[in-house]
Amino acid sequence: MNRTFVYPYNKNSESAKRLADALGVKRIKVESSTYKPRATDVLVNFGSSSMPNYQPSVKVINQPSSVIKSIDKLITFQTLEGKCSIPQYTQDKQEALDWGSEFVACRTLVNSSGGRGLSVHHRDVLGDLDTSDVKLYTSYIKKKHEYRVHIVANKIISVQRKKLRGSTHIVDDTFKIRNIDHGWVFSRNFDRGTDDYSDDVEDQALFAMNELGLDYGAVDILFNQLKGVYVVEVNTAPGLQDVTLDLYKEAFKSEYNIGAVS
C-alpha cells in the first residue's frame, strides 16, 4: 500500500490529528519537517494554502492552489460567480448600499471562520458607519436554515443542518450570525422530505467543489424558501469528530489508496 500522510494547515489542528489517528497515518510537521517524499506517497492536505511542492509525482489530495481559492471568501465568490448561486458581493460600500437590501453583511476578515470579523448592519445604519476596515460586503440572506454538505471525491457523505441549543439566550444577532458563540451547532437530525429542504442544497455544494477544484471539503449553504439556496463558504479543514470523523475516514479509505506509514 502507498504511504499516506496528513499535512495540517496548523500544527495545533485537533481535527487534522483526529483524521491522521483515524486513518492510522502520521502527520507531517509544518515546521522543521524531516519528511522525505516517495513517488507513490499520498498527502492529505488539511487546509494548507502554502504546502511545500515536494515533487510532482506525489499525490496531493486538495491542491494548495484550490485551498487558496476556498479560504479567501472574496476569491471564492470571484471563482464561483456565474457558476453557483452566491450572494451579491462587493468591496465597495456605496455599491452595497445601492443593492437596496435591508441588511448588509460586512467582513473585516476574508479568511476567517466561525463568524470572526463578521457583522450585519441595517442599510440605514451602514451608511453612517466607519467601514474603512471592511474588506468584503455581501447581501444579507434571510435564511430559514443553514446547511453544511460534506463531500469526498465528488460524493456527498453527510449533510448537517444548524440548530439552536435549547439553553441559548435569544438576541437579535442570534439568528443573523449562526455560529457557536450564538448557540448554533450542526445536527444530522432533520427530515429531508419536508419543504424545508431542497435538492439544490446538494447540487450547489457539488458545483462549488468542482469549480474550486477541491477533492474534499464541507460547503456551507443558506436556504431561503422563496429565494432558494446560496453557497456562502467552503471549508478545507472542517471540524472532525465523532460520526463526521468516521464518515471521512471511511470515505478516504474507499476513495483513495490509503495505507499506514512504514
Residue 27 has pLDDT above 60, yes or no: yes
Residue 260 has pLDDT above 90, yes or no: no
> For residue 262, is it within any domain?
no
> For residue 119, is it within any domain?
yes
User: Are 127 and 150 contained in the same domain?
Assistant: no
User: Are 104 and 200 contained in the same domain?
Assistant: no
**What sign does the CA torsion over 205, 87, 49, 162 have?**
negative
> For residue 229, is it within any domain?
yes
Residue 55 has pLDDT above 80, yes or no: no
User: Are 166 and 198 contained in the same domain?
Assistant: yes
Read off the pLDDT band of 121 (50, 70, 90).
Answer: very high
Domain end marker among 102, 123, 139: 139
Residue 152 has pLDDT above 90, yes or no: yes
- Range with lowest mean pLDDT among 29-43, 114-128, 174-188, 191-205: 174-188
Q: Which structural domain range is residue 94 located in?
A: 89-139
Amino acid 262: pLDDT: 45
Q: Percent of the chain at pLDDT above 90?
A: 66
Amino acid 261: pLDDT: 46
pTM of the complete model: 0.90
Read off the pLDDT band of 142 (50, 70, 90).
Answer: confident
User: Are 251 and 205 contained in the same domain?
Assistant: no
Amino acid 138: pLDDT: 96
Give first-to-last CA distance, the chain, whole Å: 10
Q: pLDDT by residue (tens digit) across 165-221?
A: 765 555 555 456 666 666 777 778 878 877 678 899 999 999 999 999 999 999 999
Distance in angstroms (rounded) separating the CA atoms of residues 91 and 103: 16
Amino acid 144: pLDDT: 81
> For residue 190, is it within any domain?
yes
User: Are 30 and 148 contained in the same domain?
Assistant: no
Distance in angstroms (rounded) separating the CA atoms of residues 87 and 30: 35
> For residue 40, is it within any domain?
yes
CB 242 within 8 A of CB 228: no
CA-based nearest residue to 117, from 128, 125, 126, 106: 106
> For residue 196, is it within any domain?
yes
> For residue 173, is it within any domain?
yes
Per the model's pLDDT, the better-predicted residue between 251 and 180 turns out to be: 251
User: Are 77 and 201 contained in the same domain?
Assistant: yes
Distance in angstroms (rounded) separating the CA atoms of residues 61 and 45: 6
User: Are 116 and 160 contained in the same domain?
Assistant: no
> For residue 39, is it within any domain?
yes
- Give me the mean pLDDT over the 217-239 stretch: 93
Give the orientation angle of helix 73-80 with respect to helix 64-71, to 10 degrees: 100
User: Are 203 and 126 contained in the same domain?
Assistant: no
Give the orientation angle of helix 73-80 with respect to helix 200-212, to 10 degrees: 100
Query: Residue 167 burial (CB < 10 Å; 0-12/13-18/19+)?
Result: exposed
- CATH number of the domain that residue 79 is part of: 3.30.470.20
Give a three-class secondary structure readout of the chain. Answer: CCCEEEEECCCCCHHHHHHHHHHCCEECCCCCCCCCCCCCCEEEEECCCCCCCCCCCCEEECCHHHHHHHHCHHHHHHHHCCCCCCCCEECCHHHHHHCCCCEEEEECCCCCCCCCCEEEEEHHHHCCCCCCCCCEEEECCCCCEEEEEEEECCEEEEEEEEEECCCCCCCHHHHHCCCHHHCEEEECCCCCCCCCCCCHHHHHHHHHHHHHCCCEEEEEEEEECCCEEEEEEEECCCCCCHHHHHHHHHHHHHHCCCCCCC
Residue 31 to residues 7, 35, 51, Cα–Cα distance (Å): 11, 11, 11
Domain count, the chain: 3
User: Are 208 and 225 contained in the same domain?
Assistant: yes
- Range with lowest mean pLDDT among 21-35, 62-76, 166-180: 166-180
User: Are 74 and 174 contained in the same domain?
Assistant: yes
User: Are 197 and 82 contained in the same domain?
Assistant: yes
- Range with lowest mean pLDDT among 155-164, 178-187, 190-199, 223-232: 178-187
User: Are 185 and 126 contained in the same domain?
Assistant: no
